[in-house]
Amino acid sequence: MVRGSSSRHSTAAIIAGDIEFRRARLSTEDVRIVHPERLGRALRGSAVGNIIEWYEFGVFGFLITVMGPVFLPQADPTVQSLYLFGTFAVTFVARPLGGVFFGWLGDRLGRRKVLTLTLLLMSFATLLTGLLPGYAQIGIWAPILLVLLRLIQGFSASGEYTSAATFLSEFAPDRERGRYTGILASMIYIGFAFGAGLVGVLQLSTSAEFMQGWGWRIPFLVSLPMTAIALYIRYRVEESPAFVAVMRDREALERKLQQTERNPGIVAVVATQWRALLPVIGIAAAGNVIAYTMFSYVPTYLSQTLGFASEVSNLVLFPLYVVAVFCTIGAGMLSDRIGRRRTLLIGATIALLFAVPAFLLMGTGLAWLAMIGALFVMVASSFFSQSYASTLPEQFPTASRNTALGFAYNIGNAALGGTAPIVIAAIVAATGSTLAPAYYLVGAAVLGLVATLGIKETSRRPLRGSMPNVRTLPEAQKLVAEQSETPLLALVGLPLPYAAYADATGERLSSSDPRVVAAAKSVGINHERQ
């Protein structure tokens, strides 16, 4: 039997026989005080792998016009581009599977271990891409092996970003989660900026023959020392405190039941959390359409469709990636102040209103106007990017957060995001319309607007299934003192134990009382503060 409670921020009382269980109040010991040094290591550990991931994706997009003749020398430039855009899209075939696998693994073994594994697999595929013989050496096996390596890349990258987002969101203070995860999201643009800068410098300082010979391999091989540095940084990072708490509770339950307690599989996650999964899929799809159009399609669009020299198109975009770093961090901080939903709505509105003007400016043929046009798309992308590591992980409970986020983010990304470059390229080739990419972005913006309306506002609130994270002891004390008044602290969502009372007299009972132990077991609740 469950009896309702009059408190806005408490759960219903649970009656088992003559015992009444009520949620315990939050105490100072329940609130996690975030250690600045540990938070800094978590931020650096999350960031380094994401720089490598997005650097590699960026490099592949920037080198499409160079690599085409290496892997399909007998095809015309349009077919070469479509093949490489298709190869790029193939990585997203593996992403949902990788997202589910690494998500489940992260919820079972820990975020830190998965981040090490995804980094090794991702870097392995990147290094082998740089060593892969071309069509002239091994014939048709060259494009086939390239596709295989891209599948491995996509499988591992699917777990890298979502695990890093989950990891850092669980470390960050609740009131500043947007700021810190915005820094993580900005690594997307640092990776792309590094890739664009390196490819652009190589193209300007060497010949086209050198680039198609060995030059295109250099950016892929550069990932080897980057990986060594990243592994060293991640080795020094501790596990997420929120996940440590989940593991502690899980181990305690296993001892009581004397059996292994499994974390929820993907079927259970979808069945119980589909209402939260759907809008997350929509936001991931919309945001990644904008992002991959900008990063992987626009460089080729500027050179092949609009006639810019390929080195010019890369360098036109390079400063915009730097601007996007600060824009993404700013959008994350803004979401801490005005809310996640409002920030996402701003990004979707920018894309909706400025997609067509942006591509009209690119179509003028003037580099400085093309840069202004691309800036509009970049800003819209930044507002979505900040949400991937803050808003989206916040929609799911800690025990299954990595699984749910890995599934939802990668389904949305694979369905529309990763396929955007090849779909847009095919539409442009079929219609000859230089505004086709703009109309595609308008559709993505509409999807983003609708999906954003379906998410819960989570700014400055504790993560679902976790205790609050704060910076200082006075902040923790203030939170505990005001717990019944603040709308940002819904006690119903916190993993607080139940206190036992005699239903007839209201007397507080000891948690070790045999009657209390038996009653708690009969209704399956935790009645002891861990």
Res 500 pLDDT > 50: yes
Higher-confidence residue: 167 or 418?
Answer: 167
Q: Nearest-CA neighbor of 118 among 75, 162, 74?
A: 162
**What pLDDT does residue 389 have?**
86
Res 2 pLDDT > 80: no
Handedness of CA 394, 395, 401, 405 (dihedral sign): negative
- Largest pairwise CA distance in the chain: 89
Res 260 pLDDT > 70: no
Q: Which residues pair with 509 in a beta bridge?
A: 500
**What pLDDT does residue 491 have?**
60
**What pLDDT does residue 159 have?**
87
pLDDT band of 3, cuts 50, 70, 90: very low
**What pLDDT does residue 252 have?**
61
Q: In this structure, what is the dihedral angle of CA atoms 456, 462, 182, 184, given to the nearest 10 degrees?
A: -120
- Distance, in Å, from the CA atom of 164 to the CA atom of 257, rounded to the nearest integer, reads 32
φ, ψ at 261 (rounded to 5°) = -95, 115
Q: pLDDT tens-digit profile of 352-402?
A: 999 999 999 988 878 888 889 989 999 999 999 888 888 999 999 888 898
Q: Sheet holding 2-3: strands in order across?
A: 2-3, 13-16, 19-23, 498-502, 508-509
Q: Which of helix, strand or coil describes residue 510?
A: coil
Res 530 pLDDT > 70: no
Q: Indicate where the chain has its CATH 1.20.1250.20 domain(s).
A: 30-452
- Distance, in Å, from the CA atom of 430 to the CA atom of 125, rounded to the nearest integer, reads 33
Q: pLDDT tens-digit profile of 190-246?
A: 988 888 788 888 988 888 889 988 899 999 999 899 999 999 998 888 888 777 877
Q: Which of helix, strand or coil describes residue 19?
A: strand
**What pLDDT does residue 93 have?**
80
- Distance, in Å, from the CA atom of 193 to the CA atom of 316, rounded to the nearest integer, reads 11
- The full DSSP string for 475-488 is HHHHHHHTTTT-TT
Q: pLDDT tens-digit profile of 124-181?
A: 999 999 999 998 899 989 989 998 998 898 899 888 888 898 889 988 999 999 999 9
Res 9 pLDDT > 70: no
Higher-confidence residue: 264 or 68?
Answer: 68
Q: Give the H or E element holding residue 469.
A: strand 469-470
Instruction: Calculate what percentage of the chain has a pLDDT beyond 90.
Output: 36
**What pLDDT does residue 1 have?**
41
Res 6 pLDDT > 50: no
**What pLDDT does residue 141 have?**
92
Question: Which CATH homologous superfamily contains domain 30-452?
Answer: MFS general substrate transporter like domains (1.20.1250.20)
Q: Which amino acid is at 87?
A: T
Determine what percent of the chain falls in helix, strand and coil, rounding each to the nearest 5.
75, 5, 20
Q: Give the H or E element holding residue 508.
A: strand 508-509
Higher-confidence residue: 478 or 76?
Answer: 478
Res 7 pLDDT > 50: no
